[in-house]
Amino acid sequence: MSKVTARRQLQGLAFASPWLIGFTLFIGGPIAASAFYSFTDFNLFQSPDFVGLDNFRAMLDDERFTRSLLNTLYLTVVGVPLGLGLALLVALALNADVRGRALYRAVVYLPTIIPIVVATYLWRWLLNAQYGYVNRIIGVFGVDGPTWLEDPAWTKPAVVLMGLWTVGGTAVIYLAALQDVPAERYEAAALDGAGAWARFRYVTWPALTPVTLFQLVVGVIAGMQIFAQPYLLTQSRLNQAAGGPDDSLLTYGTYVFQNAFVHLKMGYASALGWVLFLVTMAITAVLLLSSRRWVHYGS
C-alpha cells in the first residue's frame, strides 16, 4: 500500500468513525451480548446462568410463542401486500393530471407525519364499537360494525386498517418511480394499440418492480417487528402485560418485550430475538431469490 492510499484509508475511516463507534457501542455490543444471553437464564438483576439450548427448546412447548409468531405473520402477510397495492393505486391517482395535484399529494402524505402513539390513540377511538366513526360510517350502509378491539377475530384487521392510513409514505415513493417512466414508452405502446391496462401491465408495472421489491423487503422487516400499535391498543391499567382479547394482538415484538421487561426472562427474550432475526432473514432471502422472476432493472 502506498503512502497516499494509506492516508486516504485513514481519512476515510476517520470520517466514518462516528458511525463506526456508534455502531460498535450501541448496536454491535448489544447484539453480541444478546447472542450470549440467549444461552443463559438471566433476569437482568442477577448474573446469568449458562443453560445451553434450553431457551430454544422451551419455545417448542410455548404456545404463546407460536401464537405471537402467527399473529405477526398474519399482520405482515396481509398488511404489507395490501399496503403496497393501495399505495400503488393512490400513486396512480395522484399521477393523473388534475388541478390541485400538489395539494392532494400533501394531504395523502400527511398521516405519516403524525407520531405513531398519537395516531394509535386516535384510532382507538375511531374504532370504538359504540361511538367510533368507523362503525358509524359502516352503519350508514345498514351494517352493524364489529367490536374491533374487543373481538379477537377483528383486532388484527383493525391494526391492518390502521396501517393503511399511512400508505401515503409508500405512495409518494411510487409516485416518484411513476414519474421516472419515460414518456416515449407510453407513446410507443399507444402507437402499437395498447389500451390502459396493457400500458400499465407492460410499461408501468415493469418499471415499478425494483421499487416494489425494495418496499416489500422493508415492509416485511418492519412488519415482523411491529410493536407500537399492538402494545398501545392492548394497554391496560398501570400498563400491565397484555396481549389483547384471546392474545390476538400478542405480536412477536410485544412478546419479546414482555419476557424481557415484565417477566424478567432476559435470556429467553434474547433467544426469541435471535429466532425472529433468522425468520426475517429467511423470508427476505426468499423474496430476493423470487425477485429474479419478477423484478426488471433498467431497460
Partner 1 sequence: MEVAVKLARAFLAAGAALALLAGCGGSDDGSGDGPTEVVFSYLWAGAEAQALEQVIADFNASQTKIRVKGVSNPDFQKQLAAMSSGKGSFDISDHFGNGVGAWASKGILAPLDEYIAKDGFDTADFVPSALEQMKYEGKTYSMPIALHTQMLLYNKKLLSEAGIAAPPQTTEEWAQAIAKLTKRDGDKLTQLGYANAEIGTSLTTLGYAFGGEWFDGSGKATPNNPGTVAAAKFYVDNVPGKYGVGAVRTFTSGFGEYASPQNPFYVGKVATVIDGEWQAAFIKKNAPQLEWGVAPIPYPASRPDLEDTTQVTTSTLFIPANAQHKAEAWEFMKYLLGKEAMVKFSHALANLPARTSLLGDPAYADLPQFDAWLQALKSPNAKALASTPWAAQYSTDLNSAFDDIAQMRKTPEQALAAVAEKTGSYE
Q: Which residues form the interface with partner 1 (CB under 8 A)? A: 7, 10-11, 14-15, 17-18, 21, 43-46, 128-131, 147, 149-152, 237-243, 245-247, 257-258, 261-264
If the CB atoms of residues 26 and 141 are measured against partner 1, the closer one turns out to be 26
Q: What is the 3-state secondary structure (H, E, C) of 101-144?
A: HHHHHHHHHHHHHCCHHHHHHHHHHHCCCCCCHHHHHHHHCCCC
CB of 37 to partner 1, least distance (A): 13
If the CB atoms of residues 170 and 234 are measured against partner 1, the closer one turns out to be 234
If the CB atoms of residues 94 and 242 are measured against partner 1, the closer one turns out to be 242
CB 162 within 8 A of CB 82: no
Q: Which amino acid is at 224?
A: M
Question: Strand pairing partners for 50?
Answer: 40
CB of 255 to partner 1, least distance (A): 11
Using the structure block, give the residue that is written with the C-alpha cell 405512495: 171
CB of 265 to partner 1, least distance (A): 9
**Terminal alpha carbon distance of the chain:** 40
CB 37 within 8 A of CB 54: no
CB of 27 to partner 1, least distance (A): 16
231, three cell numbers? 402494545
If the CB atoms of residues 128 and 204 are measured against partner 1, the closer one turns out to be 128
If the CB atoms of residues 130 and 299 are measured against partner 1, the closer one turns out to be 130
CB of 263 to partner 1, least distance (A): 6
